[in-house]
Amino acid sequence: AKDYELRQYETAKWVSTVIRGETQKEAMRQGFWKLFHYIQGKNEKETKIDMTVPVTCLIKSGCADFKISFFVPFEHQDSPPQPTDSDVFIEERKAAAIFVRSFGGFASPEKYAEEAEVLGRILRNMGQPFHEDFFYTAGYDSPFKLFNRHNEVWYFKK
């Protein structure tokens, strides 16, 4: 469909942290830095790990917790170094079919919510079953990239 795509993701490990009681924008900032320190060597092996994309944020309806995650690069998928920060953890996300809507520009929490609403409406109109109680935001660009930015919202297929 021109308004979204359906992707199949394989099981993979992500390094994550949960930020509670902050705005989404502030949670993203705090979470990003916790995860950035992990990939810069704040882990048991003091291993530097390449930055990967996307950076995701789990948004749950009516919940003030935000889970921010970095994809663990393929060369570390089998045994990622364990975090030394107790707020940072490795999680395995199971294989899943995900509905994805892409958009450009600088993404704000409001823009992500708006795009998720549009995607949800399209999926409901097409009779596509999906988990409506949460979605992920996915950002692919450094804050210093000014043009041709790529952002996504993800709903998991039921």
Model confidence over 27-79: pLDDT tens digits? 999 999 999 999 999 999 999 999 999 999 999 998 999 999 999 999 999 99
Does residue 1 surpass a pLDDT of 70? no
Mean pLDDT of the chain: 96
What pLDDT sits at residue 143? 83
What proportion of the chain, given as a percentage, has pLDDT over 90?
Answer: 94
Look at phi and psi of residue 118 and say left if phi exceeds 0, alpha if psi is from -120 to 50, else beta. Answer: alpha
Nearest-angstrom CA–CA distance, 154 and 58? 9
Model confidence over 119-134: pLDDT tens digits? 999 999 999 999 999 9
Lowest mean pLDDT, pick from 56-60, 79-83, 144-148: 144-148
Q: Name the domain count of the chain.
A: 1
Give the 3-state secondary structure of 85-120.
CCCEEEEEECCEEEEEEEECCCCCHHHHHHHHHHHH
Whether 95 contacts 9, CB under 8 Å:
yes
Does residue 137 surpass a pLDDT of 90? yes
What pLDDT sits at residue 2? 81
The DSSP call for residue 149 is: -
Beta strands in 21-157 (DSSP E): 55-60, 65-71, 88-93, 96-103, 134-139, 151-156
Range of the domain at 114: 5-156
CATH number, domain at 25? 3.20.80.10
Nearest-angstrom CA–CA distance, 56 and 32? 10
pLDDT band of 21, cuts 50, 70, 90: confident
CA dihedral 113, 16, 99, 4 (to 10 degrees): 60
